Amino acid sequence: MLEQYRDRNSLIHTVHARVKIIFTLVFILAVNLTPAGTWTGFILYFSILISIIMLSRLGIRYVLKRSLFALPFILSAIPLIFWGPEPVNHIWLLNRVQVPFSLVGLERCISITLKAWLSVQAAIVLTGTTPFSSIIEGFRQIHVPLILISIIELMWRYLFVIVDEVTRMMRARTSRSTQIGKPYHSGGSVLWRAQVTGNMAGSLFLRSIERSERVYAAMLSRGYTGEPLSVSSTNLSKKDQWITVFSCMMILAVFIFSLFTGR
């Protein structure tokens, strides 16, 4: 369920992981440095992305559904509409409540939303077209600090273990969440249930910490010194080099265009 990789036979799948990582980073960087309100720029970024999604055969629906991950970022941008920069207008609701409203804030809010959404989609294309092991391999080759890579690797490895643990806890709770019929009303209060859920999260946290200590002890006893292993990197093929240069130039072109047209 968590595994994002979709095995398809497409051009994007065959491109070297390193190329895709570099492109994704450049894309995310460019999109987020693009000034707010550069609508043409965002449309151009989006069309580049859509073309890649089409080429990758991931399916637009698949990508769009997963891009809902961007939602929390959007929530954090909403206050900008009300408490954004000057000029702030005031709108009367029902002739009683006065709500501040900033047009510049709204523009920024929409820009942040678009930026978050585009960035998340780019990341989805990366993880959807590249197996996890290749991404890690790619990180190594572009010299991401090894300690960061081991953190990501371990996190990925134990994420599944913890998800299993959560599943088992939920099952055990479900088994005891029962009903005996009238006159008793089952379920308890919302507050009590929230408390139980909080306790479960706390217990999971404790168990995770203990597990991490056990795992670390097991790593130490197999000779782990805190220094992750390094790997030799292979050279990119001509085709991959060409794709890297071409795709990054394209993003750069859109970025520069946006700088001139935006504010």
Partner 1 sequence: MEPLIKIQQLSFSYPDGKNALTDINLSVYPGEKIGIVGANGAGKSTLLMHINGIFTGEGSVIIDGMECDRKHLEKIRARVGVVFQNPDDQLFSITVYDDVAYGPRYQGLPKEEIHSRVEKALAAVQMEGYADRNPYHLSGGEKKRIAIATVLSMNPDILVFDEPTAGLDPRARRELLELLGRLPQTLLIATHDLELVDQLTTRMIVMNAGKIVADGPGKELLQDQQLLFNNGLI
Is residue 158 near partner 1 by the rule CB under 8 A? no
Candidates 160, 192, 216, 242; binder of partner 1 (CB under 8 A) is: 192
CB of 4 to partner 1, least distance (A): 17
Is residue 169 near partner 1 by the rule CB under 8 A? yes
Q: What angle do CA 45, 48, 52 make, to 5 degrees?
A: 135
The whole-angstrom separation of Cα 212 and Cα 207 is: 9
The residue among 85 and 202 lying less far from partner 1, judged by its C-beta, is 202
Q: Which residues pair with 98 in a beta bridge?
A: 92
Where does residue 245 fall: left (phi above 0), alpha (psi -120 to 50 degrees), or beta otherwise? alpha
The residue among 2 and 97 lying less far from partner 1, judged by its C-beta, is 2
Query: In the stretch 88-107, what mask flags binding to partner 1 with x, by CB under 8 A?
Result: --------------------
Candidates 9, 95, 174, 225; binder of partner 1 (CB under 8 A) is: 174
CB neighbourhood size of 261 (10 A): 13
Q: Which stretch binds partner 1 (CB under 8 A): 8-16, 130-138, 144-152, 198-206?
A: 198-206
Is residue 32 near partner 1 by the rule CB under 8 A? no
Is residue 175 near partner 1 by the rule CB under 8 A? yes
Is residue 8 near partner 1 by the rule CB under 8 A? no
How is residue 60 written in tokens?
A: 């637009």
Candidates 98, 177, 230, 237; binder of partner 1 (CB under 8 A) is: 177
Element (H, E) at 227: none
* In the block, residue with structure tokens 């959807």: 128
Among 141, 113, 131, 117, which residue's Cα sits nearest to residue 14?
Answer: 131
Is residue 173 near partner 1 by the rule CB under 8 A? yes
Among 212, 194, 192, which residue's Cα sits nearest to residue 204?
Answer: 212
Among 57, 31, 33, which residue's Cα sits nearest to residue 44?
Answer: 31
List interacting residues with partner 1 (CB under 8 A). 165, 168-169, 171-181, 184-188, 192, 196, 199-200, 203, 206-207
